[in-house]
């Protein structure tokens, strides 16, 4: 009697264990046999791919390199255009922060009425109404036509402290400004002729600068 009870209990335990396995299959048992198993190596490969590409699926390093190459190509083209349009002296002064010779330049002794524009982009910068003889051998002005068109930077080159003057539009090096000019400003904008182009008063309308004609009426 006791042996029959033990045998029956063993049979019930075996049936229960088999049922548990059948009712709760593992992830491997439910996987499509046609698909390869997912391994840790697959997750590593996926992580590497994500880190090497941005959200758009592009390699960020490659994209930056391409943009950098394009920017360099644009800069090179612009520089070639400037070299073609400017004389060597004009390029040296405006692009390389050079200085022309005193008393040996186009406008140091210019006395005609008119305005002076940036030789690079034609932006109006100075007027003959503000020009004076500083005795330095360079064109000198008490003020610009519009202070917004001038940018000033501290210049510590040549063993001295000076204030460099550049054009706001084309970023051309123009010269320097000093606090030793005449009234009404007390300033002396000492400018390289090579950075300027002179437009006579009688040609302002023709050149597209008619808004400055009233300065000379």
DSSP for the chain reads: -HHHHHHHHHHHHHHHHHHHHHHS--HHHHS-TTSPPP-HHHHHHHHHHHHHS-TTS--HHHHHHHHHHHHHHHHHHHHHHHHHHS-HHHHHHHHH---PPTTSSSSTT--SSEEEEETTT--EEEEGGGEE--SSSS-EESS-S-GGGEEEEEE-GGGS-EEEEEETTT--EEEEEES---TTTT-EEEE-GGGEEEEEGGGHHHHT-GGGGGGG-
Q: Which strands, in side-by-side order, build the sheet including 173-178? A: 131-132, 140-141, 188-191, 173-178, 162-167, 150-155
Q: 183-199, pLDDT tens digit by residue?
A: 999 999 999 999 999 99
Give domain status of residue 114, yes or no.
Answer: yes
Give domain status of residue 83, yes or no.
Answer: no
Give domain status of residue 124, yes or no.
Answer: yes
Give domain status of residue 35, yes or no.
Answer: no
Q: 24-69, pLDDT tens digit by residue?
A: 333 334 344 344 444 434 433 444 433 333 333 344 344 444 567 7
Work out how many domains the chain is built from and give that number.
Answer: 1
Give domain status of residue 78, yes or no.
Answer: no
CATH code: domain of residue 180: 2.170.150.20
Domain range for 161 is 96-216
Give domain status of residue 48, yes or no.
Answer: no
CB within 8 A of 119, min separation 6: which ones? 86, 90, 94, 172, 194, 195, 196, 197
Q: Is 56 a catalytic residue?
A: no
Whole-structure pTM over 0.75, yes or no?
Answer: no
Give domain status of residue 174, yes or no.
Answer: yes
What distance in Å separates the CA atoms of residue 97 and residue 91, rounded to the nearest whole number?
9
Confidence of residue 4 (pLDDT cuts 50, 70, 90): low
What residues pair up with 116 in beta bridges, in sequence order?
A: 126, 198
Q: Which of 150, 187, 190, 191 is catalytic?
A: 190
Nearest CA to 177 out of 209, 214, 152 is that of 152
Mean pLDDT of 111-139: 98
Give domain status of residue 13, yes or no.
Answer: no
What distance in Å separates the CA atoms of residue 195 and residue 100, rounded to the nearest whole number?
10
The pLDDT value recorded for residue 66 is: 59
């Amino acid at each position: 009697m006791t042996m029959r009870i033990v045998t029956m209990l063993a049979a019930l335990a075996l049936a229960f264990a088999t049922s548990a396995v059948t009712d709760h299959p593992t992830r491997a048992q439910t996987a499509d046999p046609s698909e390869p198993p997912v391994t840790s190596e697959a997750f590593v490969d996926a992580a590497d791919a994500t880190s090497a590409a941005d959200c758009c699926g592009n390699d960020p390093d490659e994209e930056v390199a391409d943009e950098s190459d394009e920017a360099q190509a644009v800069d090179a083209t612009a520089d070639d255009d400037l070299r073609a349009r400017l004389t060597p002296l004009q390029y040296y002064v405006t692009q390389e922060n050079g200085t022309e010779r005193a008393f040996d330049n186009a406008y140091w002794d210019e006395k005609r009425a008119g305005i002076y524009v940036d030789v690079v982009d034609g932006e109006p910068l100075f007027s003959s109404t503000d020009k004076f003889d500083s005795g330095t051998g360079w064109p000198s002005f008490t003020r610009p036509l519009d202070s917004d068109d001038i940018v000033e930077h501290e210049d510590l080159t040549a063993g001295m402290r000076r204030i460099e003057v550049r054009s706001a539009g084309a970023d051309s090096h123009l010269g320097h400004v000093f606090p030793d000019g005449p009234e009404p400003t007390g300033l002396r904008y000492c400018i390289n002729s090579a950075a300027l182009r002179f437009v006579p008063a009688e040609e302002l309308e023709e050149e597209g600068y008619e808004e400055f004609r009233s300065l000379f009426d």
